[in-house]
């Protein structure tokens, strides 16, 4: 089990990033909550990870905080929830807010998340309520992992990255493009655009 990686960030294209660990490039899938905290390419970062082995692939998922990884692992235990949907959920809502929705039986808030219908929302509440009853999060402090997020890309690339990230989360290209256009003020980073577009959508 690979539980943590520390290395040089050499590429970031939501929902994937590549980490150079002693000359070995690890392709890692990460939620947008982690991408929001990423520094510039070339910086050294630490990711908490979860390794998934399937018949057709071996996939590595990375997280900025322990509570993100804990929630991801808890989501995977729910019937019908796979890594992709779990990643989408983490990209769309903060862990503590999600837990609050489950504990308070807030179906309406969960249904508003991408990829979650009424039945899935009900299943999440039923199967996760007991597991999250004593939720305290995990210890990792995101500020100790990522620092100094900066924007060094061209404007078009920033907008395209934001659109691609929204599409990967399940939105249609036209919806993603429209949402990005509405929130972009010409100064926001791709991570900020994605965050605001998700809230607006």
Give residue-wise pLDDT tens across range 134-182: 665 443 333 334 443 344 346 667 777 788 788 778 787 767 877 887 8
pTM: 0.69
Q: Read off the pLDDT of each residue in 185-198 and give the average, rounded to a whole number.
A: 83
Rounded CA-CA distance 175/33 in Å is: 21
163 belongs to a structural domain: yes
The answer, yes or no, to whether residue 74 has pLDDT greater than 80, is yes
Is 150 a member of any domain? no
Question: Is 102 within a domain?
Answer: yes
138, 121, 132, 134: which is closest to 81 by C-alpha?
121
Length reported for the chain: 201
59 vs 196: which has the higher pLDDT: 59
Shared-domain flag, residues 52 and 106: no
Domain end among 64, 86, 106: 64
Residue ranges making up the domain that contains 79: 66-128
Q: Are residues 92 and 112 in the same domain?
A: yes
CATH number of the domain bearing residue 113 = 1.10.150.20
Residues 71 and 117 reside in one and the same domain: yes
CATH of the domain at 55: 2.40.50.140
Average pLDDT of the segment spanning 105-130: 90
β-strand partners of 28: 17
- Mean pLDDT, the chain, as a whole number? 83
CATH code of residue 192: 1.10.8.10
Residue 143, pLDDT score: 38
Predicted pLDDT at 90: 92
**Predicted local confidence at residue 2, as pLDDT:** 85
What is the rounded CA–CA span in Å between residue 22 and residue 86?
Answer: 30
Work out the average pLDDT over 188-192: 82
In a domain, 59, yes or no: yes
- For residue 42, is pLDDT > 90? yes
> How many angstroms separate the CA atoms of 101 and 124, rounded?
10
| 120 is a domain residue | yes
Counting DSSP H helices and E strands in the chain, the numbers are 10, 5
Query: What is the total count of domains within the chain?
Result: 3
Q: Under DSSP, is residue 39 helix (H, G, I), strand (E, B) or coil?
A: coil
In degrees and rounded to multiples of 5, residue 45 shows phi and psi of -135, 165
């Amino acid at each position: 089990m690979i539980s943590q990686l520390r290395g040089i960030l050499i590429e970031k294209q939501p929902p994937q990033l590549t980490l150079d660990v002693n000359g070995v490039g690890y392709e890692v899938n990460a939620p947008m909550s982690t991408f929001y905290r990423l520094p510039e390419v070339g910086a050294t970062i630490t990711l908490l990870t979860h390794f998934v082995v399937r018949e057709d692939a071996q996939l590595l998922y990375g997280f900025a905080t322990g509570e993100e990884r804990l929630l991801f692992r808890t989501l995977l235990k729910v019937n019908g929830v796979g890594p992709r949907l779990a990643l989408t959920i983490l990209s769309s809502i903060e862990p503590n807010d999600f837990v609050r929705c489950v504990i308070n039986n807030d179906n309406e808030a969960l249904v508003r998340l991408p990829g979650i219908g009424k039945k899935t929302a009900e299943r999440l509440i039923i199967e996760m309520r007991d597991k999250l009853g004593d939720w305290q999060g995990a210890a990792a402090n995101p500020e100790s992992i990522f620092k100094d997020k900066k924007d060094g890309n061209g404007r078009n690339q920033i907008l395209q990255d934001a659109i691609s990230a929204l599409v990967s989360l399940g939105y249609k290209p036209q919806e993603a493009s429209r949402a990005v256009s509405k929130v972009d003020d010409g100064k926001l980073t791709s991570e900020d655009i994605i965050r605001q577009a998700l809230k607006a959508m």
